[in-house]
Structure 1
Amino acid sequence: MTGRRVVSIWLPSLAMDLWRGRRRQQGDPWPDEAPLVLLRPGRHGPVIHAANRAAQEAGARADARIGDIRALCPELACVEADPAGDAARLRRLAFWARRWGPWSAADGEDGLVIDCSGVAHLFGGEAALLARIEADCARAGLSARAALAPTTGAAWALARFGPARAIAGDARRALADLPVAALRLSPETVLLLRRLGLKTIADLAAVPRLALMRRFARAPFAENPLLRLDQALGELAEPLDAPEPPPEFIAEARLAEPVQDPGDWLPGLVQALCAQLAAGRQGCRGLRLSVFRIDGERRDIRVAVAAPSREAAHLLGLFQGRLERLDPGFGFDLLRLAAEAVEPLAETQPGLEGGSAGGLELARLVDRLVARFGAEALQTPLPRQSHIPERSERAGPALAEPPDCAARPDRPLRLLSPPEEIRVLYAIPEGPPGAFIWRRQTLRVARHAGPERIAPEWWRDRPDTRLRDYFRIEDEIGRRLWIYREGLAHDGRGGAPRWFLHGIFS
């Protein structure tokens, strides 16, 4: 077939596939028979963002409220979704997909689009190309459906509503029996068309254009069925906006004779790579040293850094003790050093006394410890989205990328686990205790601020969990503590309220 050819790849369970892939990389795969959902914030509480097959069989559906699904499946496990991180990974997948065509881009939140005009013969034909795409996605841990058509809109429709591995030569004929939702319309427009009796694309195409133009003249693009139909049929241009891949920072050394040890060439490669990074005002969070053996095999060594860097001496030191683990085989004749996780890094001015920033020294210490003992041996607290204090952070790898959420500055860095109960001597009405006993010491409250009321997370806690009223207090000798009252009198969830000390301010 001649003319433009477009492949659309639908990734129906992208968020769940990416989450499960991260669990496998951590050596803790999630069992298929255990129901699991990913949650995102909703208007009236958390809603389901994605669900695995076991959860779907139990009744879990996208956008459903988690409280309703928990009633059907009490053993359901819940994990916070990461839509921003998934979108970033989808953009990286778009560059990975260029193995099947020269231009590709992310398509919405769950798909990829590739312009494969003139390249199908390299894979043995269009049917073989689609089979190759789905097989490669399966090896990468992604569930995928691929379709090929003359236009982006037609390929999108066939991938989601057509038969498996659909190939269309004539878009009008291939789309005729598909529902109007295949035109990438908003749910409100689809509902309106169905109420008008227009259920398939053939029904819509049979309506006089003048009538459609009058009805949807002022509708936005995503709600205009006439424009979407023209795109799918190729009567309205829809060029593929393929982003340029980020610049690669790579230094290579090609050797005349095979060698066994890369140590003599590594300093020059690091210097050359850091010069490239400096010219682009970039820093890297990791390096990958690849040696290409004469038997055709490749061996990699990766190092990571806690903060973006392009300091040659520091990056070179991270390879110390690692080159001995390299299996050179019968020797290698090509070395390649590549920067990974590149991000902007501006020039920094040292302090007036000539020293470097304390944060940079800490990052270098973390890098040296990880290089010697491994990434799993060093952990750091990472914030996560939860208003329950003990759930607002988790232990993670020291070199992990920080999440989007930030730690609360008004909360103490040191939390007691578990909170320690205190014995109240007398209390201030609607306030904290005037004096209390903690660890056999009698503390008198000199100042206080609060309360800050924290309600239970009803989608995760037991029904009888009581709310908390937190107070920041300062005693007579200046110690600043974080205490809370658990429950209210006559709240029907237990006896008298109890008091606990939960944190200590620095």
Structure 2
Amino acid sequence: MLEGASSRRILGIWLRVLALDRWRLGEGLAEGEGADARPLALIAETAHGPRIAAANAAGLTAGAQAGMMLADARTLCPDLAVAPSDPAGDLAFLEKLAGWALRWGPWSALDPPDGLLVDVTGVAHLFGGEEALLVDARTAFARRRLATRMAIAPTAGAAWALAHHGPDGAILREGDDPVQRLASLPVAALRLDGDVLTVLRRLGLKRLGDLDGVARDALVRRFRNRRSASANPLMRMDQLLGRVPEPLLPVLVTHAPLVQRRLLEPIRHLALLEQVVRDLSGDMERVLEGRGEGARRLELGLWKVDGELVVRKVEMAAPSRTAAHLAGLFARRIEDVDAGFGIEMVRLRAPWCEPLDLAQGDLEQAGEEGEARGTSLAACVDRLTVRLGAEAVRRPVPFASHMPERAQRWQEPLAPLKTSQGVSDFKIRPLKMLDKPEPISVIYETPDGLPRRFRWRGATHDVLRSEGPERIAPEWWRERGAVRLRDYYRIEDATGRRYWIYRSGVVGDGRGGVPAWFLQGVFG
């Protein structure tokens, strides 16, 4: 019996050729229906050229292997057909399958890149036993034309090992001896990194049973510096046997609010499209209000008669569900839409939502249409973002650094502050700070080192008044040892203009030659 996992049951599902199956589904082909008749490989672009990510049965027979360069594979199989791989699409497809697999248990988790783990504890009797549950799951995946291997065990590690390296449909029951049942499996069943597997094979440890015959202290000494589970065979073995828990992150299925209009007649004019968008915005407002949420991102999909799909997206600074505001944001995004022969369906979707409580509206309405007086800051930011672009609307915030050019960063207008360090009240800083300090040429210098006349950007300035110095030492944890300290002065020239200048270094500090002068900012 597995230690600490006697009552838990995990269904491990391995989609053996997930990338190829998804490609077949996209091409409308079933396994064996022209898909495996010719050699095929899915390739990924790398710095050294195309590399094979997956190959079908005919491609494997011809010599194409995963990880092989495409040029080498073409040498073995000149008629090898290729298609681009899509790891991000495969992961998104796997996430959808994880939500679909909740029909067999209360929660499911991803086992990237091609596996699922489903908790089937206490639900097998609903299917007539664990054997019948496996049959039902295998039939459901086969109906979706997906090739799988499955197993049920008390731990996720044991379920994964049996699904990948054991007989298909294997069941490790509570009363079974796991060491004996799993002893014949290869060490690759422990989900280890490739370099660790190479080390184990060189040591003659090729099966899980071989690890049981080695003193634990010897393995601890050999892998004591391996902190991650995938690099430590002892940790993986303990997880497989249930001696230590293995955290799993369940997939939470969320349904994005969606409203749509199927039009009786295709529309081609902007005015009609704007009216449809206003109607959808009103529908979305009611849906979001019922959920107690506000949208942060909206996607407007336009289906044309010729089959083309046009998507427009907007992202808001704060959660919102006001129909007039939503429609106004899309007004500029749909001006350049070419309707072609007409648009027959319009869909509005909110993939990113946040909680938004009900609020008392303004009792005094302005205008016949009931538009509220005034504009909120979030609405103003959204309108500016739509007009100017997402990167054009930012606000300065303090940053944890006492160096002037690093003490400020730019971030989204309504995002919370990312640092608790504020600007000290007693330190006076210029209103205009230069992005990079500019050197100035000192023409006349007093004995104490303060310039009385300097040249900056082609103009000569006579210093009438000065205040300082304020010494700022370099940040030793960021800078190299040759960086010099700074002495800052607030000065005023003969025309009344005030500047913030500093001297980089002092005479005899051993970090360079003569100190240099720079202008950092301008007051007023």
Normalised by the size of structure 2, how large is the TM-score? 0.53
Match of 1:240 among 248, 252, 270: 248
Partner residue, 1:362: 336
In the alignment, is residue 168 of structure 1 matched against residue 176 of structure 2? Answer: no
Q: CA deviation at 1:32?
A: 3.0
Which residue identity lines up with residue 306 of structure 1 in the other structure? V
Residue in 2 that maps onto 1:306: 311
How large is the Cα RMSD of the aligned pairs?
3.7
CA contact (8 A) 1:20 1:30 kept: no
CA distance change for structure 1 residues 86 and 223 in 2, over 3 Å: closer, same or farther? same
Instruction: Give 1:272 deviation, angstroms.
Output: 3.2
- Give the secondary-structure state (helix, strand or coil) at the position aligned to 2:247: coil
1:15 counterpart residue number: 19
Please give the per-residue CA displacement for 1:29-75, whole angstroms capped at 9, x wherever unaligned.
85431221110123521110111222122111100111111122222
For the 8 Å contact 2:40–2:80, the answer to whether it is kept is: yes
Q: Which residues of 2 match residues 38-187 of structure 1 at below 5 A?
A: 38-169=42-173, 170=176, 171-187=178-194
Task: Give the deviation of 1:358 after TM superposition.
Answer: 4.3
Identity %: 44
The 2-side partners of 1:74 and 1:348 are apart by: 60
Alignment partners' CA distance in 1, 2:240 and 2:163 = 13
In 1, the alpha carbon distance for the partners of 2:183 and 2:243 equals 16
Query: Does 1:6 find its partner at 2:14?
Result: no
For 1:355 and 1:199, locate their aligned partners in 2 and report how far apart those are by CA, in whole Å.
62
Per-residue Cα deviation, 1:257-305 (whole angstroms, up to 9, x for no partner): xxxxxxxxx9996663365687243435569xxxxxxxxxxxxxx9976
Equivalent pair of 1:48/1:61 in contact (CA under 8 Å): yes
Amino acid in structure 2 at the alignment position of 1:113: L
CA contact (8 A) 1:303 1:371 kept: no
Measured after TM superposition, the shift of residue 113 of structure 1 is 0.7
Distance 2:322 2:308 in 1: 23
Q: Which runs of 5+ in 1 are unaligned?
A: 252-265, 288-301, 311-343, 374-506
Gaps of 5+ in 2: 260-278, 347-524
Given that 1:350 and 1:356 are in contact with CA atoms closer than 8 Å, whether structure 2 keeps it comes out as no
Counterpart residue identity of residue 249, structure 1: P
CA distance in 2, matches of 1:192, 1:132: 40
1:220 Cα offset (Å): 3.2
Q: Which residue identity lines up with residue 17 of structure 2 in the other structure?
A: S
Contact kept, 8 Å, 2:45 with 2:51, in 1: the verdict is: yes
Secondary structure, in 3 states, of the residue corresponding to 1:281? strand
Q: Does 1:227 align with 2:235?
A: yes
> Which whole-Å deviations, capped at 9, do the CAs of 1:368-403 have from their partners, x for residues lacking one?
834279xxxxxxxxxxxxxxxxxxxxxxxxxxxxxx
Aligned residues: 308
Asked if structure 2 preserves the Cα contact closer than 8 Å seen for 1:305 and 1:367, the reply is no
Letter in 2 for 1:361: E
Contact 1:283–1:345 under 8 Å retained in 2: no
Alpha-carbon distance, 1:346 to partner: 7.2
How far off its partner does 1:209 sit? 1.2
Q: Residue in 2 aligned with 1:272?
A: 286
Q: 1:199 aligns with which of 198, 206, 226?
A: 206
- Work out whether residues 91 and 112 of structure 2, in 8 Å CA contact, stay in contact via their aligned partners in 1: no
Residues 128 and 270 of structure 1: is their aligned pair in 2 closer, same or farther, counting only changes over 3 Å? same
**Contact 2:294-2:319 at 8 Å conserved across structures:** no
Q: 1:188 is matched by which residue type in structure 2? A: D
1:458 aligns to what? none
1:237 positional shift: 0.6
The answer to whether the aligner puts 1:209 opposite 2:213 as a matched pair is no
C-alpha distance in 1, partners of 2:170/2:86? 32
Cα distance in structure 1, aligned partners of 2:159 and 2:340: 47
Distance 1:247 1:201 in 2: 43
Pairing of 1:345-356 with structure 2 (within 5 A): none
**How far off its partner does 1:147 sit?**
0.5
Q: 1:64 to 1:355 in 2, by over 3 A?
A: closer
Change (3 A) 1:274 1:239: closer
* Residues 154-190 of structure 1 deviation map (CA, whole Å, 9 limit, x = unaligned): 0000000001100002332321111111011111111
SS of residue matched to 1:93:
helix
1: distance between equivalents of 2:333 and 2:256? Answer: 28
Residue 291 of structure 1 is matched in structure 2 by: none
Seen in structure 2, the aligned counterparts of structure 1 residues 16 and 367 have a Cα distance that, compared at 3 Å, is farther
Amino acid at match of 2:334: L
In the superposition, relative to structure 1, how do residues 65 and 345 fare at CA in structure 2: closer, same or farther (>3 Å)?
Answer: farther
Give the 5 Å matches for 1:287-326.
Answer: 306-308=311-313
Q: Is the 8 A contact 1:286 1:303 kept in 2?
A: no
Structure 1's 5 and 304: CA in aligned 2 closer, same or farther, altered over 3 A? Answer: farther
DSSP 3-state at the match of 2:298? strand
Residue 247 of structure 1 deviates from its aligned partner by 4.1
Question: What is the SS of the residue equivalent to 1:243?
Answer: coil
Rounded to whole Å, the distance in 1 between the matches of 2:215 and 2:164 is 27
Q: Could you tell me how far apart the structure 2 residues matched to 1:85 and 1:34 are?
A: 24
**Is residue 249 of structure 1 aligned with residue 257 of structure 2?**
yes
SS at match of 1:190: helix
Distance 1:250 1:52, change over 3 A: same
Say whether the 8 Å CA contact 1:49–1:62 is kept in structure 2. yes
Deviation of 1:117 after TM superposition, in Å, equals 0.5
